[in-house]
Amino acid sequence: MDGIVHFDLKGAPLKIDYLASVFKSIKSWGATGILLEWEDTFPYDSNLKDIGSQRSSSGCGGDGLYSVDDVQTIFRLAKENSLEVVSIKQK
């Protein structure tokens, strides 16, 4: 049976070091994947930039929580722990 753990990164954005530790734990508990709910913490670019963490104006977004490098690190950490990644990118 597959076990997917849901991370709501908008509601509770987590530090990369903490995610590394949690991924190891959930793998040991039998999880096979993670569902990442990014919303405006995802570093959208181009025509989607205004709804993501790279947004330059004040207000919602522009929090700089996760960079492109951070996202790549999160995906690498998941892969190292044999966790399939399911991403929800919504606004």
List C-alpha distances in Å: 68 to 21, 25, 45, 48, 86: 20, 25, 10, 14, 17
DSSP state, 77?
H
Question: Helices 68-80 and 16-28 meet at what angle, rounded to 10?
Answer: 20
Tokens representing residue 23 in the block: 């991924």
pTM of the predicted model, to two decimals?
Answer: 0.77
What's the pLDDT tens digit per position in 4-44?
A: 999 988 867 789 999 999 999 999 999 999 999 887 777 76
Would you list the domain boundaries of the chain?
40-86
List C-alpha distances in Å: 60 to 3, 29, 52, 53, 77: 32, 36, 9, 9, 28
What's the pLDDT tens digit per position in 44-79?
A: 666 555 545 554 444 444 455 788 888 899 999 999
